[in-house]
Amino acid sequence: MSLDLESLYSLLPAIYRVRDAEQARDGGHAEELKALLDVIAEQAAVLEENLAQLYDDQFIETCAEWVVPYIGDALGVHPLSAGGETAAYSLRAYVANTIAYRRRKGTASVLEQLARDVSGWPARAVEFFQLLATTQHLAHLRPAATTVNLRAADRLDLLDTPFDTLAHTGEVRRIANRRGKYNIPHVGIFLWRLGAYLMSRAPASGADGLYHFSPLGHDMPLFHQPLTETEMTHLAEEADVPGPIRPRGLAADLTGYWDRFSGEAGEDQPQHSRYYGLDRSLAIYRDGELVQPLDLVVADLEPWEKPRPGKVAIDPRRGRLAFAEHETPAHVAVSYSYGFSADMGGGPYDRQATLDPAPPETTLLVPVSKNGTTKTLQHALHHWDPIARPRCVIRIEDNGIYGGVFNVTLGPHTTLVIEAADGFRPIWRALSPIGVTGHEDAIFALNGILVEGSLTLHGDVACTLSHCTLVPGSGLNKDGTAHLPAADGLRAAAGGHPQVTVADSIVGPIRLSADAGLLVLRDSIVDAPTAKGSGSPAVAAYAIAANDTGTAPGPAATLERCTIFGRSHVRQVEATDVIFTDLLHVERRQAGWLRFCYTPPGSVTPRRYRCQPDLALAAYAAAAGKTMQALTAAEAAQVRPQFTIRRYGAPAYAQLSTACSAAIKAGGEDGAEMGAFNRLKQTQREANLQAALREYLRFGLETGIFWVS
């Protein structure tokens, strides 16, 4: 029974309820007895919720995250580093499947499921003894174990991948250090760290029948959405993990579709193959209609080349598509998946918790979409009367491209929020810098939007960016390089004193004066592609400063779990788990701090606590019997951040390389990596996997962990 106010009040004798109502009328006050029961009902609801949670905490499927280790302890589960409520992984599946692991202990399928449950990454286990080339008896021939069929192009394309099926000669090097694979006791665990983010019905970029899947118009690999595995005994296949779509794999998929359904009537043909179609990894819409799988051909579109009439060519390696001559549609929309490390920047991932709540009486909610009644952001502003409703929320409900000139002035105590609905990532293509002018206590917020351009703040507006991307360089060329390397991401106009908060975002250079309000950066990347006006990428640009040359400092800054590509010059700083790839210069060294950060030698900083490369170089110098000053440049360079790739737009953008120093990969406050991807807890996940594998590995076997992405 739910003990709410009305149920409790109805249990009282009628005489007391009548008397309570009469006293309220006579005294002109609220019903005092009812108000008392309201307080009791509120506390009863808290108790009722607590009792329900206590019941849920008895089951691994419904318990709170903090209860998971306790249930695991009851099962005798090997203790591992817990993920926690906000971490990117959980040990819930590991504990839930413990009994199933023990029943199949030592098998490849258990090792694969264990890797997936413990680390949270898609995984594939490979027993390398099955891929060894062996001598054979003439009475029991196994040609696949000795010879290679050169006609099997798809198998050859998978050579040296986790799905390799060709025979190899034996290796004697150990697999633990990832040097040797093909030996009898070796088992490989392949992991995919990049996720696949699905964009639905987004406009393609291009003209004259030649298009890019990316709305930014650059080449990028297309990823496929992994299928869900329902059986522990099933070993992962190529379609079960998030990886780039291989051209030969897509071609084989379309060929199989052709073989099965080309002779069927149109209504009997399914609208999808394994990779292509509705609710699949890829889809192409020509003037609103889905291009049928039978009309697709896979081609190498470098250089551009149009297919034969009636066909649509697709290049999944570069993310390009081409229509036949004289068959260019009026509108092209595409569904595709791109790869990235985390839920950061403008993306179609779950942002429900960050969206503006249900609007009260003082808030105007304006939905915007290309198929709705309000089609532009400028038109949406025309509905807003700041006097009647001081808060306005403009919610974009599709993946369309919006643009034009946008300048808005916010009066005192007004708020403007422009956000993408959950699951969408619209593009804001600004023809000129987006101008926002704010007066006393004015607030401007962006959420979930990818901005091709820059943002200029005037006055004293408070600006918040959440899950947004201000594309470094204001856009990308076809080869992925910055379109305008000298462009700012966010700038304050002269005389303005804005306060800026950036969370879970990717932004270009920030230009704020020293007397501006506090600059707060959390779980974000600030990227300055190159020095402005120099024309040479060898000259470091300023990521955070008051001007382009860095001669004037930026404001006081609070940075947590960020990666800063470029130099920084600020008045004061408080930083935790931050990677500064280039020099940091702080004016007020007596205030602020750096904790668990990396700053290059030569930086001018306030006091440091457990920062790099200080700790690692001091330990190295002590072991070598040298002083810190006696270390050579090569020795000092051993401890520096190394990235898989630093170019924005690449799937592994800003991801720390596997060759990066352990002082940085495990140098964060909680033992995780420094930088923007700290909350992924990749170091702890790998350590958990290493510990769990030892428990379930057969005697005499040895495992190696290999990063596929």
| Same-domain status, 516 and 544 | yes
What is the number of structural domains in the chain? 4
| Same-domain status, 52 and 133 | no
Q: What is the pLDDT of residues 249-287, one digit of tens each?
A: 999 888 888 888 776 656 667 778 888 988 889 999 999
Residue 619 maps to a domain: yes
| Same-domain status, 208 and 300 | yes
Residue 220 maps to a domain: yes
Q: What is the pLDDT of residues 363-373, one digit of tens each?
A: 889 999 988 88
Per-residue pLDDT averaged across 227-254, rounded? Answer: 86
> Which of 155, 214, 675 is closest to 450 using CA atoms?
214
Six token digits for residue 377: 């952001």
| Same-domain status, 580 and 496 | yes
Domain enclosing residue 299, as ranges = 195-340
CA dihedral sign of residues 620, 625, 631, 632: negative
| Same-domain status, 116 and 199 | no
On the CB side of 9, CA atoms within 13 Å amount to 18
- Rounded Cα gap, residues 457 and 455, in angstroms: 7
Per-residue pLDDT averaged across 578-602, rounded? Answer: 93
| Same-domain status, 152 and 209 | no
Q: Which residue has the tokens 């992994």?
A: 226
| Same-domain status, 45 and 158 | no
Q: What is the pLDDT of residues 65-110, one digit of tens each?
A: 888 888 888 888 877 777 655 556 788 888 888 888 888 888 888 8
**Cβ pair 225, 243 in contact under 8 A:** no
Q: What is the pLDDT of residues 618-656, one digit of tens each?
A: 887 787 777 777 777 777 777 889 999 999 999 999 999
Domain final residue pick, 340, 368, 392? 340
Residue 444 maps to a domain: no
Domain final residue pick, 308, 340, 372? 340
**Cβ pair 104, 183 in contact under 8 A:** no
Specify the pLDDT at position 88.
Answer: 67
- Rounded Cα gap, residues 492 and 494, in angstroms: 7
Per-residue pLDDT averaged across 455-484, rounded? Answer: 90
680 or 539, which is more confident: 680
Residues paired with 312 in a beta bridge: 296, 323
Specify the pLDDT at position 598.
Answer: 94
Q: Buried (b) or exposed (e) across 606-641, using 16+ Cβ within 10 A?
A: bebeebbbbebbeebbeeeeeeeeebeeeebeebbb
Where is mean pLDDT largest: 96-100, 129-133, 390-394? Answer: 390-394
Specify the pLDDT at position 321.
Answer: 94
SS3 53: helix
Specify the pLDDT at position 626.
Answer: 76
Domain final residue pick, 286, 312, 340? 340
Q: What is the pLDDT of residues 139-187, one digit of tens each?
A: 887 777 777 878 888 888 888 899 988 888 888 888 888 888 888 899 9
Specify the pLDDT at position 83.
Answer: 63
Six token digits for residue 707: 């990063």
| Same-domain status, 33 and 169 | no
Residue 93 maps to a domain: yes
Q: What is the pLDDT of residues 175-185, one digit of tens each?
A: 888 888 888 89
559 or 149, which is more confident: 559
With vertex at residue 45, the alpha carbon angle to CA 40 and CA 50, rounded to the nearest 5 degrees, is: 130
> Which of 190, 298, 294, 301 is closest to 250 using CA atoms?
298
| Same-domain status, 635 and 539 | yes
- pTM confidence score: 0.88
Specify the pLDDT at position 345.
Answer: 93
Six token digits for residue 453: 């351009």
- Rounded Cα gap, residues 120 and 193, in angstroms: 9
Specify the pLDDT at position 192.
Answer: 94
Residue 346 maps to a domain: no
Kindly list the distances between the CA atom of residue 341 and the CA atoms of 306, 345, 682, in Å, as whole numbers in the listed order: 34, 11, 11
Residue 480 maps to a domain: yes
> Which of 461, 586, 574 is closest to 514 using CA atoms?
586
Q: In the chain, helix, strand, coil percent, each to 5?
A: 25, 25, 50
With vertex at residue 406, the alpha carbon angle to CA 544 and CA 564, rounded to the nearest 5 degrees, is: 15
Residues paired with 564 in a beta bridge: 526, 580
Per-residue pLDDT averaged across 200-223, rounded? Answer: 92
Residues paired with 283 in a beta bridge: 335
| Same-domain status, 229 and 199 | yes
Per-residue pLDDT averaged across 383-401, rounded? Answer: 90
Q: What is the pLDDT of residues 276-324, one digit of tens each?
A: 988 889 999 999 899 988 889 999 998 899 999 989 999 999 999 999 9
SS3 19: helix
Residue 297 maps to a domain: yes
Long-range pairs, 140-147, Cβ under 8 A, ≥24: none
Residue 364 maps to a domain: no
Specify the pLDDT at position 263.
Answer: 62
With vertex at residue 453, the alpha carbon angle to CA 451 and CA 454, rounded to the nearest 5 degrees, is: 100
| Same-domain status, 124 and 255 | no
Q: What percent of the chain has pLDDT over 70?
A: 95
DSSP summary character for residue 264: S
> Which of 142, 135, 145, 141 is closest to 166 using CA atoms?
145
- Rounded Cα gap, residues 653 and 658, in angstroms: 14
DSSP summary character for residue 277: B
| Same-domain status, 185 and 200 | no
Amino acid at 92: R
Q: Is the pLDDT of residue 23 over 80?
A: no
| Cβ-based neighbours of 2, under 8 Å, separated by 6 or more | 45, 48
Average pLDDT, the chain: 87
- Rounded Cα gap, residues 498 and 438, in angstroms: 8
